[in-house]
Amino acid sequence: MQKTLKRKRAPGAGRPRKAEADKKGSAFTTRITAETRRALEASARKHRRSLSQEAEAGLRDYLKKPAGEARNRAIAAIVGNLAEGIEQQTGKSWRTDVFTSMALRYAIEAVLFHFAPGTEESPAIPPAVEKHAAKMPGEFAERYRRPAGLGHIRAYSLLAEIESGSRKGKMINEWTMPAGMNAPLEMIDLLARDLELD
C-alpha cells in the first residue's frame, strides 16, 4: 500500500493577503437604483477606487456633514445647484473665474431676497444677539448688533478655520482649536478638501 505524502504549500502561494485599507470588519448589503449605481461607478472611475471603496468614501463624507435644520439644508442645496448650473453655463469654476463667481454671488443674493422676510434700515436686534453683545467691548459690540457686522464676524471666523484646516502641518486639533468653533473638525477638514485649499 502506497503512502500519500502531504504536499507542502509553496511560500507565497495561495490567495494574496489583503492590504490593511481593504480589510473590512463587517459586510453591508443594500439595493440601489440603476441610476445611482451608474453615478457611483463613474465616481469610482474618476477617483480610481473600487465600487465598494467609493461607496464607503461617500458614506464617510456624508456622515461628516451635519444634518442641520431643514431650511438650512434647503438653502445649502440651492446654493450647490446654482453653483453647478452657473459653472455649466460659463464653463469655468467659481473658485478661479471672476465672472462665474460674481454670477453665483448675485444668484445667491436673489434667492435670499426671495425667501427672506425682507430688509430694513434698522431691524430689531434679536434678544440672543443683544445678550452676546452685552459681554463684548463697546466698538465690537456695536458692530455685532448690525446684520452686516454679525454676518461678517461669523463668515470671517469660519473662513479662518477653513484656511487653518487646509495648511499641512498646521491642522486644527484639540490643542489648537479656538474657543467656540463654527464647525466640527471633521467638517472643517472636508470643506478645506472640497474647496481644494491644500
Alpha-carbon gap, residue 106 to 125, rounded angstroms: 26
Nearest Cα to Cα of residue 94 among 110, 192, 102: 102
Using N-to-C axis directions, what is the helix angle for 70-90 and 98-115, rounded to 10°? Answer: 150
**pTM higher than 0.75 for the full model?**
no
pLDDT at 175: 45
Cβ 78 vs Cβ 111: under 8 Å? yes
Cβ 152 vs Cβ 142: under 8 Å? no
Per-residue pLDDT of the chain (198 residues; tens, 9 = 90+): 555 555 555 555 555 555 545 556 677 788 889 999 999 999 999 889 999 888 888 888 777 665 678 898 889 989 999 999 999 999 999 999 999 999 999 999 999 999 999 889 899 999 999 999 999 999 999 999 999 999 999 899 888 888 876 555 455 554 444 445 566 666 777 778 788 776
The grid coordinates listed for 56 are 464607503
pLDDT at 64: 63
